[in-house]
Chains A and B, each alone.
Chain A
């Protein structure tokens, strides 16, 4: 089974910061990587798929990059509504999906 890791597991940031979250797959997954945002008590929301394609309606301050085993999610200018937990998901082994453990972004 493909295992996903994320770093850091959590960190504090300020509004306006540029933040980067890293996701790593235990084997190559090409670009079959998605990113989700989840706020407390809410369902996850798809932000990015195919490693770098922005889902419709997602602000352009979000971007993704990478292929193979190493991926990043970048928020160029953190807004108050972006404080949340972010998960990566591989779908290379579709439909046997696996998620990363999550990265919590909170207010400094």
Chain B
């Protein structure tokens, strides 16, 4: 069974930093591209970042470019999101999400971790 478990969320002041982690199990992590997707309270889904299976290709949404860094450790079956210079509008539940093989949509999601940016 595919499992994605996020951790690292919490309350942080504007301008602060936070590092999210996602532990993957139930599939060959090193073979799949991964994403972070967020959802502000009461709002819709917003794609944040993508990383290919080998980390050779990385993309960011314009809203986080230059502030967030996605990375992965295939030996540890883990995905990360380093978030710097956090703003109020970054407050959201952050989901770790797997992409299917090839040019596919997201097929599995974690349960999410809440990040609250507030003074």
Picked from B44, B47, B100, the residue with its CB within 8 Å of the CB of A101 is B44
Given A43-B110, A43-B112, CB of A102 within 8 Å of CB of B33? no
Docked-complex contact A46 and B106, CB < 8 angstroms: yes
Docked-complex contact A87 and B104, CB < 8 angstroms: no
Query: With A and B bound together, what is the CA distance between A42 and B100 in angstroms?
Result: 20
Docked-complex contact B106 and A89, CB < 8 angstroms: yes
Is the C-beta of B50 less than 8 angstroms from some C-beta in chain A? yes
A-side contacts of B45, CB under 8 Å: 36, 38, 44, 87, 89, 99, 102
A-side contacts of B80, CB under 8 Å: none
Docked-complex contact A95 and B35, CB < 8 angstroms: yes
Interface residues of A in 36-81 (CB under 8 A from B): 36, 38, 42-46, 49, 55
Query: With A and B bound together, what is the CA distance between A51 and B112 in angstroms?
Result: 26
Docked-complex contact B109 and A95, CB < 8 angstroms: no
Chain A binding surface, main DSSP class: loop
Docked-complex contact A89 and B105, CB < 8 angstroms: yes
Docked-complex contact A98 and B44, CB < 8 angstroms: no
Is the C-beta of B79 less than 8 angstroms from some C-beta in chain A? no
Docked-complex contact B103 and A94, CB < 8 angstroms: yes
Docked-complex contact B104 and A91, CB < 8 angstroms: yes
Given A43-B95, A44-B45, A102-B44, CB of A97 within 8 Å of CB of B107? no
A-side contacts of B33, CB under 8 Å: 95
Interface residues of A in 9-51 (CB under 8 A from B): 32, 34, 36, 38, 42-46, 49
15 contacts between A and B (CB under 8 A): A34-B106, A43-B95, A43-B111, A44-B109, A55-B107, A87-B45, A89-B45, A91-B103, A94-B103, A95-B57, A99-B45, A99-B46, A100-B44, A101-B44, A102-B45
Interface residues of chain A, those whose CB is within 8 Å of chain B, are 32, 34, 36, 38, 42-46, 49, 55, 87, 89, 91, 94-102
Interface residues of chain B, those whose CB is within 8 Å of chain A, are 33, 35, 37, 44-47, 50, 57, 59, 95, 99-100, 103-112
